[in-house]
Structure 1
Amino acid sequence: MKKLSLMLAASLFIGSAAFSQIAKPVTWSYAAKKTGKNEATVYVKAKIDNSWHMYSQNVKDGGPVKTTFTFAPSKDYSVVGKTLEPKAVVKYEPTFKMNVSYFENQVVFQQKVKLNKAATVVKGKVEFMVCNDRECLPPEEIEFSVPVK
């Protein structure tokens, strides 16, 4: 009887753990390409699960948390201009009572950098928020390192 109770308790624990998985609807990947002797473009790609969307860098105050890039200062490179993004979907969201810009399926952000060294690693972090038609997840911050050769 003791074995049966222990097995039942273990299966309930394992079953509840499976249902309490934290949703991770965005997968990130990174690449860099030299565009000249002293410059490169860093590509930061977000693959977004079906039914989810991630917000643009260009969301007005009062709305969801916009995507924000922060690049670590380095003597090996300097950031040139703003992080570029493709054209976003713009739609009125009743939750925020405003038009918001967002991406579905995937988005590739691009950042130009001036190189002070032939090979380096561009480091930074991206803060973002995702929603679907039922819920929004809390904003998340991901660190990245992109080799430039």
Structure 2
Amino acid sequence: MRKSLALFLLAAPAFAAPKPVVHWQVTNPPAKALKRGTKLNLTLTGQIDPGWHLYALEEPQGGPIATEINLAEGSPADLIRVEEQKPKIVPDPIYQLPTGFFEQSANFTLHLQLDKSASAHPIQILIRYQSCNDRVCLPPHTDTVDVPLTTN
């Protein structure tokens, strides 16, 4: 019994969730109170750990999971569209397809419009993505970035 418990405890870290390799932040949050119904742009930046890459918003069928950016249900804004910086497009060593990806950092511009009834709740940005290095891909997962918001 003790031997099997010890083996389980040694193996347990292998089943833990992988440490994120992309670190997200909004680089231009609103500095003042905004009027309800206002349009605004936010820049979402992902800092990517060395040796890893993040996939673009559009990827070929049969390729990696494309990055998706949405707002959480109940956010006080509507996402009109998302623009990305130009990705690097090269044959992916894992998928053997030309894929678009980012190394070191990725910038996305979110075009938003505040709801006419928006209150002082944060805008919650949901980023679902997959990151890979040249040998392995981490399972896709979703990160959340909260953007403080005050309205008048």
Short-chain TM bin: 0.7 to 0.9
Write 1 or 2 for the structure with the bigger share of strand: 1
- TM-score w.r.t. structure 1 length? 0.75
SS at match of 1:143: strand
> Distance between the aligned counterparts of 1:23 and 1:51, measured in 2?
14
Corresponding position of 2:46: 46
- Give the % identical residues: 24
Relative to structure 1, the CA distance from residue 136 to residue 76 in structure 2 (aligned partners, 3 Å threshold; closer, same or farther) is: closer
Q: Name the larger-Rg structure.
A: 1
Corresponding position of 1:29: 25
Q: Is the 8 A contact 1:79 1:114 kept in 2?
A: yes
> Distance between the aligned counterparts of 1:99 and 1:147, measured in 2?
38
SS at match of 2:78: strand
Structure 1, gaps ≥5 residues long: 1-8
> Distance between the aligned counterparts of 1:94 and 1:132, measured in 2?
9
- TM-score w.r.t. structure 2 length? 0.74
Q: Is the 8 A contact 1:56 1:88 kept in 2?
A: yes
Relative to structure 1, the CA distance from residue 129 to residue 73 in structure 2 (aligned partners, 3 Å threshold; closer, same or farther) is: same
Letter in 2 for 1:88: P
Correspondences of 1:1-149 after superposition (within 5 Å): 22-31=18-27, 32-33=29-30, 38-74=38-74, 76-80=76-80, 82-115=81-114, 116=116, 117=118, 119-149=120-150
Letter in 2 for 1:111: L
